[in-house]
Structure 1
Amino acid sequence: MNLEIFKKYNKPGPRYTSYPPATFFKSGFTPRQYIEQIVQSNNDKPQNLSFYVHIPFCPRLCHFCGCNTGISQKEEVIRRYVDAVITEIENVAKHLDKSRKVSQIHWGGGTPNSINLNYVEEIMAVFQKHFQFIENPEIAMECHPAYLEYKDIDRLQATGFNRLSLGVQDFDEEVLRLVNRAPSKHPVKELVQYLKQKGFRGVNLDLIYGLPGQTKESFARNIEKTIEVSPDRLATFSYAHVPWVKAAQKILEKRGLPTPDQKLEMFETGHRLLTDAGYVAIGMDHYAKADDDLTKALHNKTLHRNFQGYATRETTGQVYGFGSSSITQLYGGYIQNVKTSAQYVKEIEKHGLAPDKAYLMKENDLVVRQVIAEVMCNGLVDFDEIGQQFGKTAEEVKKITEFSPEKLNEFLQDQLISIDGNRIQVHREGFFIVRNIAMAFDPLLKTTEAMYSKTI
Structure 2
Amino acid sequence: MEVNKQLLEKYNVPVPRYTSYPPANHFTSDFNKNDYVALIEGSNHDNPTHIAFYIHIPFCAQICFYCGCNALKMENQSVISGYVEAVKKEIQMLSKYIDKSRKVSQIHYGGGTPNAIKSEFIQEINRTIFKEFGLLDHAEIAIECNPALLSYKYIDALLEVGFNRFSIGIQDFNTEVLENVNRKPSALPVKDIVDYIKGKDDQITINLDFIYGLPGQDVNNFSSTIKKAIEVKPDRLVTFSYAHVPWMKENQKILEEKGLPTADEKMDMFMAAYNLLTDAGYVSIGLDHYALPEDELCVALNEHQLHRNFQGYCTKKTTGQVYAVGVSGISQLSGGYAQNTKDLKAYITGIEQWQFPIEKGLEVSFEQKIIRMVINELMCNKFVNWLNVAYTFDISDIQVKKVVLYSYEKLLGFKEDGLIEFDDNQVKITENGSLYIRNIVAALDPALNNNQRMYSKSL
Q: Give the alignment's TM-score, normalised by structure 1.
A: 0.98
Question: Between the two proteins, what is the percent identity of the paired residues?
Answer: 50
Aligned mates of 2:275, 2:8 — CA distance in 1 = 15
Counterpart of 1:171 in structure 2 is 173
Decide whether the 8 Å contact of 1:103 with 1:314 is kept in 2: no
Decide whether the 8 Å contact of 2:390 with 2:397 is kept in 1: yes
Counterpart of 1:21 in structure 2 is 23
Which residue of 362, 367, 372 maps to 2:365?
362
3-state SS, counterpart of residue 384 of structure 2: strand
Decide whether the 8 Å contact of 1:48 with 1:317 is kept in 2: yes
1:333 matched to 2:372? The reply is no
Aligned mates of 2:437, 2:34 — CA distance in 1 = 38
What are the residue-to-residue correspondences of 1:216-295 with 2, within 5 Å?
Answer: 216-295=219-298
Decide whether the 8 Å contact of 2:379 with 2:437 is kept in 1: yes
Which residue of 432, 452, 457 maps to 1:454?
457
Aligned mates of 2:332, 2:119 — CA distance in 1 = 27
Q: In the comparison of the two structures, how many residue pairs are matched? A: 456
Counterpart of 2:418 in structure 1 is 415
Decide whether the 8 Å contact of 1:201 with 1:232 is kept in 2: no
Once the two structures are superposed, residues 116-139 of structure 1 have per-residue CA deviations (whole angstroms, 9 ceiling, x without a partner) of 111111111110001111111100
- Offset of 1:308 from its aligned partner? 0.4
Counterpart of 1:48 in structure 2 is 50
Moved over 4 A (4+): none
Counterpart of 1:114 in structure 2 is 116
Aligned mates of 1:346, 1:399 — CA distance in 2 = 46
The amino acid that maps onto 2:143 is M
1:313 matched to 2:310? The reply is no
1:205 matched to 2:208? The reply is yes
Counterpart of 1:85 in structure 2 is 87
Aligned mates of 1:31, 1:350 — CA distance in 2 = 13
Greater shift after overlay, 6-15 or 79-88?
6-15
Counterpart of 1:31 in structure 2 is 33
Which residue of 7, 10, 16 maps to 1:8?
10
The amino acid that maps onto 1:2 is V
Aligned mates of 2:441, 2:205 — CA distance in 1 = 27
1:433 matched to 2:436? The reply is yes
Decide whether the 8 Å contact of 1:84 with 1:345 is kept in 2: yes
Greater shift after overlay, 14-23 or 199-208?
199-208
- Offset of 1:262 from its aligned partner? 0.6
The amino acid that maps onto 2:28 is K
Aligned mates of 1:421, 1:352 — CA distance in 2 = 49
The amino acid that maps onto 2:342 is K
Which residue of 194, 197, 203 maps to 1:195?
197
> Aligned-pair RMSD on alpha carbons?
1.0
3-state SS, counterpart of residue 216 of structure 2: coil
Once the two structures are superposed, residues 201-220 of structure 1 have per-residue CA deviations (whole angstroms, 9 ceiling, x without a partner) of 22100100000000110110
Once the two structures are superposed, residues 287-308 of structure 1 have per-residue CA deviations (whole angstroms, 9 ceiling, x without a partner) of 0011111111101100000000
Counterpart of 1:391 in structure 2 is 394
Counterpart of 1:375 in structure 2 is 378
Q: List alignment gaps of at least 5 residues for structure 2.
A: none
Aligned mates of 1:45, 1:369 — CA distance in 2 = 14
Aligned mates of 1:317, 1:297 — CA distance in 2 = 16
Aligned mates of 1:310, 1:231 — CA distance in 2 = 16
- Offset of 1:411 from its aligned partner? 1.2
The amino acid that maps onto 1:249 is Q
Aligned mates of 2:71, 2:115 — CA distance in 1 = 14
Counterpart of 2:325 in structure 1 is 322
The amino acid that maps onto 1:125 is R
- Offset of 1:30 from its aligned partner? 2.5
What are the residue-to-residue correspondences of 1:58-137 with 2, within 5 Å?
Answer: 58-137=60-139
- Offset of 1:37 from its aligned partner? 1.2
3-state SS, counterpart of residue 353 of structure 2: helix
Once the two structures are superposed, residues 252-298 of structure 1 have per-residue CA deviations (whole angstroms, 9 ceiling, x without a partner) of 01111111111111011110111011000000111001111111110
The amino acid that maps onto 1:43 is H
Aligned mates of 1:201, 1:417 — CA distance in 2 = 36
3-state SS, counterpart of residue 260 of structure 2: coil
- Offset of 1:421 from its aligned partner? 2.3
3-state SS, counterpart of residue 40 of structure 2: helix
- Offset of 1:189 from its aligned partner? 0.9
Aligned mates of 2:451, 2:3 — CA distance in 1 = 31
Aligned mates of 1:119, 1:454 — CA distance in 2 = 38
- Offset of 1:33 from its aligned partner? 2.1
Counterpart of 2:299 in structure 1 is 296
The amino acid that maps onto 1:8 is K
3-state SS, counterpart of residue 345 of structure 1: helix
Decide whether the 8 Å contact of 1:54 with 1:324 is kept in 2: yes
Decide whether the 8 Å contact of 2:93 with 2:354 is kept in 1: no
Decide whether the 8 Å contact of 2:114 with 2:145 is kept in 1: yes
Q: Give the alignment's TM-score, normalised by structure 2.
A: 0.98
- Offset of 1:165 from its aligned partner? 0.5
3-state SS, counterpart of residue 414 of structure 2: helix
3-state SS, counterpart of residue 455 of structure 1: coil
Once the two structures are superposed, residues 74-114 of structure 1 have per-residue CA deviations (whole angstroms, 9 ceiling, x without a partner) of 00100111111111110111111111000000000000011
Aligned mates of 1:26, 1:447 — CA distance in 2 = 17
1:186 matched to 2:149? The reply is no
3-state SS, counterpart of residue 454 of structure 1: coil
Aligned mates of 1:304, 1:296 — CA distance in 2 = 12
The amino acid that maps onto 1:398 is K
